[in-house]
């Protein structure tokens, strides 16, 4: 039987409306799974970031981030504190929280006076990253004392020391940082301070040499699947080590000029790593102490770094929003459950040298309150909230 034209039109319109409604409903449900702008109350990045920043400020300077070393004398500000401090500044900027910024600055200013002895000696990759802090302060306050101090650390990372070893001098002679050692950690410690120097001076020398440095590490220790060995001697894909590399690439790429000759290689390496990390995320949203070994324990500092690197990639448009936004959202929702009432992060791998057996990495202590975990969680809160990416 044939339908009359007006009945056919009504039926057609009804079917189209139903399809549109179903599509809208399905689209809404789907977006909830990858949305990086709206979270349940327990995972609100503003609340979480403030809690983490307050916890950082109420503690004194740590000894390499470890709660186990609380009674050791302090001889310098160590890099885990630098990374958490920097995250606090970023978070304060993203939330336009001048009060928090001033509290973070007030903690820094004694380093010019009563705590000047805690300024790190600029003779190691883990020490020179300290310069990222005064440069961040300079960008906000325009006070010359911050610029001068920060630039010293950025410049001395390439000015070979009189006490440098033969190997360090060889790296310098090739145009690389004399602090090069091909450990994964370096690719945040070097890129962070050089990126800050570029932001302050607009001199491409800083970002260009960081990019050249990055490619040396990519060529030396990145595997075909995109993950990285801890070092050329340590053939293990340690979680936090890979996290330093993931964050280092993300930080460098977000300021690296489009015409930089190293950019295509770094971007390809970053995307390859993100693809494998997506597949390595466990059912809870976490990554393991050795990224590619599902028998190891869930580790928070590396997981937070991977989450940060993916948030940046999604917001910058380097990664597919639906595919990787889902991974990043799942990671953030999992990670906030590891924050205790005080604002300490649980399941943070203790400070770790290079190891030569799976058991070495398996047996590293999962600590609560290690600043290595505080830092990347603050980065994640910043990345979720900022409009500057």
Q: What is the pLDDT of residues 105-128, one digit of tens each?
A: 999 999 999 999 999 999 999 999
Task: Look at the chain and count its residues.
Answer: 389
Q: What is the mean pLDDT of residues 184-200?
A: 97
10 is a domain residue: no
Q: Which of 79, 48, 50 is nearest to 66 (CA)?
A: 79
Bridge partner list, 116 = none
Both structure tokens of 195 = 């990126």
Q: What is the mean pLDDT of residues 200-222?
A: 98
Query: What pLDDT, on the 0 to 100 scale, is given for residue 25?
Result: 41
Q: What is the mean pLDDT of residues 44-52?
A: 98
56, burial (CB in 10 Å: exposed 0-12, middle 13-18, buried 19+): buried
pLDDT for 71 beyond 50: yes
20 is a domain residue: no
Bridge partner list, 288 = 298
Bridge partner list, 349 = 366
CA distance 18 to 37: 28
Query: What pLDDT, on the 0 to 100 scale, is given for residue 341?
Result: 97
Q: Under a CB-based contact definition with an 8 Å cutoff, are residues 274 and 326 in contact?
A: no
Q: Which of the four pLDDT bands, split at 50, 70 and 90, describes residue 31? A: confident
41 is a domain residue: no
Query: What pLDDT, on the 0 to 100 scale, is given for residue 144?
Result: 98
Q: What is the mean pLDDT of residues 296-317?
A: 98
- Rounded to a whole number of angstroms, the CA Rg of the chain reads 23
Query: What pLDDT, on the 0 to 100 scale, is given for residue 7?
Result: 44
39 is a domain residue: no
Query: What pLDDT, on the 0 to 100 scale, is given for residue 4?
Result: 42
CA distance 156 to 179: 10
CA distance 273 to 252: 15
5 is a domain residue: no
Q: How many domains does the chain have?
A: 1
For 324-338, how does the pLDDT look when each residue is reduced to its tens digit (9 = 90+)? Answer: 999 999 999 999 999
Output the pTM of the full model.
0.92
Tell me the pLDDT of the chain averaged across its residues: 93
pLDDT for 66 beyond 60: yes
362 is a domain residue: yes
Q: Under a CB-based contact definition with an 8 Å cutoff, are residues 371 and 56 in contact?
A: yes
Query: What pLDDT, on the 0 to 100 scale, is given for residue 74?
Result: 97
Q: Which of the four pLDDT bands, split at 50, 70 and 90, describes residue 29? A: very low
Phi-psi label, residue 226: left if phi above 0, alpha if psi -120 to 50, beta otherwise: left
Q: Under a CB-based contact definition with an 8 Å cutoff, are residues 379 and 80 in contact?
A: no
Helix locations, the chain, DSSP H? 5-34, 45-58, 79-94, 98-108, 125-128, 132-141, 144-156, 166-173, 186-201, 204-221, 239-253, 263-280, 300-316, 321-335, 358-362, 371-385
Q: Which range has the worst mean pLDDT, 28-32, 68-72, 269-273, 289-293?
A: 28-32
Q: Which of the four pLDDT bands, split at 50, 70 and 90, describes residue 136? A: very high
DSSP conformation class of 348: E
DSSP conformation class of 297: P
Query: What pLDDT, on the 0 to 100 scale, is given for residue 40?
Result: 97
DSSP conformation class of 349: E
Handedness of CA 19, 21, 27, 33 (dihedral sign): negative
83 is a domain residue: yes
pLDDT for 13 beyond 80: no
Q: What is the mean pLDDT of residues 200-209?
A: 98
**Count of alpha carbons within 13 Å of 286, Cβ hemisphere only?**
22
Q: Which range has the worst mean pLDDT, 2-16, 122-136, 176-190, 292-306?
A: 2-16
The percentage of the chain sitting over the pLDDT mark of 90, rounded to a whole number, equals: 90
Q: What is the mean pLDDT of residues 190-194?
A: 97
Query: What pLDDT, on the 0 to 100 scale, is given for residue 196?
Result: 98
Q: Which of the four pLDDT bands, split at 50, 70 and 90, describes residue 24? A: very low
CA distance 349 to 365: 6
Q: Which residue has the higher pLDDT, 19 or 321?
A: 321
For 342-362, how does the pLDDT look when each residue is reduced to its tens digit (9 = 90+)? Answer: 999 999 999 999 999 999 999
For 357-379, how does the pLDDT look when each residue is reduced to its tens digit (9 = 90+)? Answer: 999 999 999 999 999 999 999 99
Which long-range CB contacts under 8 A does 293-297 form with residues at least 24 apart?
293/237, 293/358, 296/361, 296/362, 297/347, 297/362, 297/366
**Count of alpha carbons within 13 Å of 139, Cβ hemisphere only?**
20
The percentage of the chain sitting over the pLDDT mark of 70, rounded to a whole number, equals: 93
- Residue numbers of the domain that contains 290: 47-159+174-385
Please report, for the domain that includes residue 294, its CATH number. Answer: 1.50.10.10
Handedness of CA 92, 95, 98, 99 (dihedral sign): negative
Q: Which residues fall within 8 angstroms of residue 68, CB to CB, at 6 or more apart?
A: 350, 365, 367
Which long-range CB contacts under 8 A does 199-207 form with residues at least 24 apart?
199/135, 199/139, 199/255, 200/135, 200/138, 200/139, 200/147, 200/150, 200/151, 201/151, 204/257, 206/154, 207/252, 207/255, 207/256, 207/257, 207/260
Q: Which of the four pLDDT bands, split at 50, 70 and 90, describes residue 42? A: very high
pLDDT for 173 beyond 60: yes
Query: What pLDDT, on the 0 to 100 scale, is given for residue 2?
Result: 40
């Amino acid at each position: 039987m044939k339908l009359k034209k007006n009945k056919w039109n009504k039926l057609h319109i009804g079917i189209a409306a139903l399809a549109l409604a179903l599509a809208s409903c399905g689209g809404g449900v789907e977006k909830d799974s990858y949305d990086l702008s709206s979270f349940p109350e327990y995972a609100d990045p503003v609340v979480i970031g403030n809690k983490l920043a307050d916890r950082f400020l109420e503690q004194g300077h740590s000894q390499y981030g470890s709660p186990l070393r609380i009674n050791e004398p302090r001889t310098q500000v160590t890099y885990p504190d630098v990374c958490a401090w920097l995250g606090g500044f970023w978070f304060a900027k993203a939330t336009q929280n001048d009060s928090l910024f001033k509290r973070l600055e007030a903690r820094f200013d004694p380093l010019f006076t009563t705590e000047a002895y805690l300024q790190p000696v600029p003779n190691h990759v883990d020490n020179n990253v300290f310069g990222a802090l005064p440069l961040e302060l300079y960008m906000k306050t325009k006070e010359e004392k911050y610029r001068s101090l920060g630039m010293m650390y950025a410049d001395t990372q390439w000015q070979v020391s009189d006490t440098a070893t033969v190997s360090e001098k060889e790296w310098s002679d090739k145009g690389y940082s004399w602090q090069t050692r091909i450990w994964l950690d370096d690719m945040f410690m070097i890129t962070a301070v050089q990126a800050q120097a570029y932001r302050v001076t607009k001199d491409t020398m800083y970002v260009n040499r960081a990019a050249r440095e990055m490619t040396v590490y990519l060529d030396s220790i990145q595997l075909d699947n995109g993950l990285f060995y801890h070092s050329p001697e340590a053939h293990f894909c340690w979680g936090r080590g890979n996290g330093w590399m993931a964050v280092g690439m993300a930080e460098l790429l977000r300021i690296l000029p489009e015409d930089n000759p190293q950019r295509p290689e770094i971007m390809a390496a970053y995307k390859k790593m993100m693809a494998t990390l997506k597949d390595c995320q466990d059912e809870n949203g976490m990554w393991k102490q050795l990224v590619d070994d599902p028998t190891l324990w869930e580790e928070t500092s590396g997981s937070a770094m991977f989450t940060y690197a993916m948030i940046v990639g999604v917001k910058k448009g380097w990664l597919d929003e639906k595919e990787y936004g889902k991974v990043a959202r799942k990671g953030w929702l999992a990670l906030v459950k590891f924050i205790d009432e005080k604002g300490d992060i649980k399941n943070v791998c203790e400070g770790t040298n290079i190891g030569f057996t799976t058991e070495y990495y398996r047996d590293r202590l999962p600590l609560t309150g290690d600043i290595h975990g505080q830092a990347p969680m603050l980065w994640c809160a910043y990345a979720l909230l900022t409009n500057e990416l």
